[in-house]
Structure 1
Amino acid sequence: MKNLQSLVLSLSLLGLLAGCAAGPGGAKKGAAVEDRAVERWKLLIDRKAADAYEFLTPGYRATHPKDQYAASMSTRPVLWKKVELMDKDCPDEDTCTVRLIVDFELRIAAGVPGPVSSTDVQKEKWLRIKGQWYHLPAQ
C-alpha cells in the first residue's frame, strides 16, 4: 500500500512540475479558444506572422506555405495596434466563432496626411483538433 501511495504522490508531483514548466501565458495544448484567438492577434500586432501561422488549422497550413502567409501578412498597408476579446459562440465542443475588436492604423493613399486610425470587429472560425484550437481562415 505504501508503494502505491508513493507512486501516486510521485505522479502527482510530476504533473505539477510539467504544468509549471509550461510557464504562465505560454501557448499550452488545450488552451481556451479565446486565449488562442487573442494570442494569435498579439503575434500579428507584434509583426510575428510566421509565429501566428502556427495557429492556423493543419489543413490550411498544408495548402498555404508559411513563407507566403508571413509575407502576405507583413506587407499589408495596415498596422494592427490592439486586440480585445468581444465574445464567442460555440455551437458544439469543437467549433467556435470568436469575435475580436481590433484597433488598427491604415495608410490610405498619397496626399492623405498620416495613417487613419479605426476599429473593426473580426469574426473568426476556430476548430478544436486533437485537443488544440486552430483558426480556420475564411479564404
Structure 2
Amino acid sequence: MNNRVSLLLLSSLLVLAACSSQEQTLEEKAVARWEHLIKGEFNLAYEYLTPGYRQTENVESYGLRMGASQVEWQEVTYEKKECEDENLCVVHVNIQYLYVMPVAGGKEMVQTTTIRENWIKKDDGWYYLPKKS
C-alpha cells in the first residue's frame, strides 16, 4: 500500500512540475509576441495584449493595423527588463527591421532599434499594454 501511495504522489508531482514548466516567463512572452508579429501571425500576437486593451480593439482591426506597417520586422532579441514591482515591468527588446526608402529610389535599409514595452501581470499571467497612439 505504501508503494502505491508513493507512486501516486510521485506521479502527481511530475504532472504538476510539467504544467508549471510550460508557463512562459515574461521574457519568453515578450519575445514570442514579437515572433508572431514577424511571422504575420497577428491573431496570435493579439492574445498577448491586456484584456482591457482587447476590449478597445478587436482582433481583425489589430491585424489590419499591424499588417499595414511600413517596415518589415525581421528579428527580435530580448535585452532586459526593469520592474517597478512584481506586477509592472518595462521590457526592452531589440527589433531588426527592413525599411524601403521611397525617396531614395527604393533603397533597402536594415536597422535595429530598441523598443521599450509595458507589461502588466494579472492573475493569470503577463500581458503587453501598448502605448496610446
TM-score under structure 1 normalisation? 0.83
Q: Which amino acid aligns with 2:58?
A: P
Match of 2:102, SS state, is coil
Aligned partner of 2:10 in structure 1 is: 9
| Paired residues for 1:26-45 under 5 Å | 28=23, 31-45=24-38
Q: Which amino acid aligns with 1:8?
A: L
Query: Structure 1, unaligned stretches of length 5 or more?
Result: 23-27
Greater strand fraction, Structure 1 or Structure 2: 2
Aligned mates of 2:79, 2:89 — CA distance in 1? 13
CA distance in 2, matches of 1:74, 1:89: 29
1:49-64 alignment to 2 at 5 Å?
Answer: 49-64=42-57
Cα distance in 2 between the residues matched to 1:13 and 1:97: 33
Unaligned runs of 5+ in 2: none
- Give the partner amino acid of 2:106: P
| Per-residue Cα deviation, 1:80-119 (whole angstroms, up to 9, x for no partner) | 0111111110110011000111110112325523322111
How big is the alpha-carbon RMSD for the aligned residues of Structure 1 and Structure 2? 2.1
* One-letter amino acid matched to 1:105: L
- Percent of residue pairs identical: 31
Q: Secondary structure at the match of 1:84?
A: strand
The Cα shift of 1:8 comes to 1.9
- Structure 2 distance, partners of 1:33, 1:10, is 28
Please report the TM-score for the alignment, with normalisation by the length of structure 2: 0.86
CA–CA separation in structure 2 for the residues paired with 1:32 and 1:13: 20
Q: Could you report, residue by residue, the CA deviation over 1:28-55 in whole angstroms, capped at 9, with x for unpaired residues?
A: 3xx2111110111111111111110000
Measured after TM superposition, the shift of residue 4 of structure 1 is 4.6
Distance 1:35 1:42, change over 3 A: same
Q: Measure, in 2, the Cα distance between the counterparts of 1:75 and 1:126.
A: 24
For residue 100 of structure 1, give the secondary structure of its aligned residue in structure 2. strand
Q: Which residue of 2 aligns with 1:25?
A: none
Q: Which has the higher contact order (CA 8 A, sep 6+)?
A: 1
Within 5 Å, which residues of 2 pair with 1:1-139? 2=2, 4-16=5-17, 18=19, 22=22, 28=23, 31-109=24-102, 112-139=105-132
Question: Bigger CA drift: 117-126 or 11-20?
Answer: 11-20
